[in-house]
Structure 1
Amino acid sequence: MQNDQDYGNKLNPAWDEKGLITAVLTDAKTGLLLMVAHMNKESFELSMATKEATFWSRSRKKIWRKGEESGHVMKIQEIRIDCDQDTLWLKVIPMGPACHTGAQSCFYRLVEDGHLVTIPKDKI
């Protein structure tokens, strides 16, 4: 059975029980997976208004604009939402590394046989 949430054109994010939605960020030019973060309604609205990725920090319990301290902002080119509107996909132009470690992507390690293996920078 079809419903508006899955098939309609009305934006109606499915916030979780904490008022958050998952956001996946990829590089708009290369397609590289950069990071995953969470947004609340306020950070989502700020992101749409400013075209800069802004999130809810679950650890700090506050709004944070990616790059507000480092200068490595994420310029939003496109925002998509999945079929049941519980996950966002932001295609961005990164103004520096996505990861707080300085790595281009937060996904710079492989899990192999229960261990972590760092991927060489030229292979990420």
Structure 2
Amino acid sequence: MFVTPAYAQAAGAPAGGGITDIFIQLMPILLLVVIFWLLIFRPQQKRMKAQQAMLSAIRRGDTVVTTGGIVGKVTKAVDGEDLEVEIAPTVKVKLVRGMIADVRSKAEPVNDNKPAA
């Protein structure tokens, strides 16, 4: 009585617009990848490079801060990855180079050709 009959819509243009339709559909995903690269991945890679450069430049006499917050002076490099750090007079600890969070002050370069004053 009150129900109207349903009619099918007429057929539209056939699909298959080609490569431009695929490109337009993938554009938001590509845009997100570019934004993530510029805002997250690239700055993180720069920080990692700077951290690695800082760790490789540590030498005897530098004042360093560990990831645990301990401040000390590097007394010697035990081997490639280990450092000996003096945290108090006569208290020396061995640390892994990767656990250094910051280098506070760099040691003065040693010049053996300087005449004594």
Confirm or deny a common fold (TM above 0.5).
no
More strand by share: 1
More helix by share: 2
TM-score by length of 2: 0.29
Higher RCO by CA contacts (8 Å cutoff, separation 6 or greater): 1
